[in-house]
Amino acid sequence: MSVICTHTNAGFFSCCSMRLDNIVEYINNMKQIPIHVDSSIQFSWYKKDNDNDITFDYFDHYDNITNVTINHPINYKEYFQYTNFSELDYAAIIPLIKKYFSPSKGINDIINNIELKYNLVYENICVLFYRGNDKIIEAPLSKYDDYVIHANRIMENNPNILFLIQSDETEFIEYMSSKFPNSFYFKDEIRHMQKCESTVDKKFKDKNYEFSKYYLAITIIMSKCKYIVCGLGNCSIWIMFYRGNTRNTCQYLTNRRWITNL
């Protein structure tokens, strides 16, 4: 009656996607939800002590979430991070996100603090999210100028829009900041580096625990914004999971084309 998640030495949202995959597989096979989900060995990159279970530092305990109805079969696999997000089975997946991945009080506190610090008005924000660096090893990445094209189209219909720039690539942040004076990014709450085939989790690993909590909070913040321009990957798909849909989004696909839902 238990699910044991063993995917551990990977990025935060890779761990989340495999945790979700394991839960979905159990429910589809057993026709019921598990009594226990053991994620104690996951998120090892973010632990200060490998013996600690830090799952509930990020997420409210699933036993506390009782007001959801979970039906099966559920169509989800971890590799869906490389697919068209508008084709996901949100009706079946979102109840699982609510039960097993609702943010903890600590994460909600971070969200509230960021909202106040940056005076966020979600209806007036477009996210330009670019997961770069080592992601190029797994999937094609779009050109920066593609983001500029979509951002300009959105700005034509929303002249007062603000652009939230979110990336692990310093060059992307600098380029978008130069193109859009009406932009900002979370200077104290994110990590970024010059373009390379590595990850901030490896370069700045001594701060992984602290910044992984910021990153989860920022992912939920991005999901609340009016518009989102993004690519493929686990980080992007989790923005959509917390959003619950792909309305007002533009996504870059593996066949090097864009899908828009504006």
Question: Which pLDDT belongs to residue 256?
Answer: 85
Q: What separation, in Å, do the N-terminal and C-terminal C-alpha atoms of the chain show?
A: 42
Count how many domains the chain has. Answer: 2
Arithmetic mean of pLDDT, 179-188: 98
Q: How far apart are CA 135 and CA 126, in angstroms?
A: 23
Q: What is the pLDDT of residues 136-172, one digit of tens each?
A: 998 889 999 999 999 999 999 999 999 999 999 999 9
Question: Which pLDDT belongs to residue 49?
Answer: 82
Domain extent for 79: 2-104
Taken in order 234, 239, 245, 246, is the CA torsion positive or negative? negative
User: Is 127 found in the same domain as 90?
Assistant: no
Arithmetic mean of pLDDT, 123-148: 95
Q: What is the pLDDT of residues 50-102, one digit of tens each?
A: 778 999 999 999 999 999 999 999 999 999 999 999 999 999 999 999 999 99
User: Is 55 found in the same domain as 23?
Assistant: yes
Question: Which pLDDT belongs to residue 44?
Answer: 95
User: Is 256 found in the same domain as 128?
Assistant: yes
**C-alpha 246 chain-centroid distance:** 13
* 79, 88, 113, 149, 212 from 253: Cα distances, Å: 13, 14, 34, 16, 26
DSSP per-residue string spanning 116-185 = HHTT--GGGEEEEEE--GGGGGTS----HHHHHHHHHHHHHH-TT-EEEEEESBHHHHHHHHHH-SSEE-
User: Is 146 found in the same domain as 75?
Assistant: no
Question: Which pLDDT belongs to residue 72?
Answer: 93
Residues 6+ apart with CB under 8 A from 76: 20, 21, 24, 88, 89, 92, 93
User: Is 138 found in the same domain as 234?
Assistant: yes
User: Is 232 found in the same domain as 117?
Assistant: yes
Question: Which pLDDT belongs to residue 48?
Answer: 86
Which of 104, 131, 146 is where one domain is finished?
A: 104
Q: What is the pLDDT of residues 201-257, one digit of tens each?
A: 999 999 999 999 999 999 999 999 999 999 999 999 999 999 999 999 999 998 889
User: Is 152 found in the same domain as 39?
Assistant: no
User: Is 252 found in the same domain as 122?
Assistant: yes
Which of 88, 104, 120 is where one domain is finished?
A: 104
Determine the Cα angle at 82 with ends 210 and 262, to 5°: 90
Which of 104, 128, 153 is where one domain is finished?
A: 104
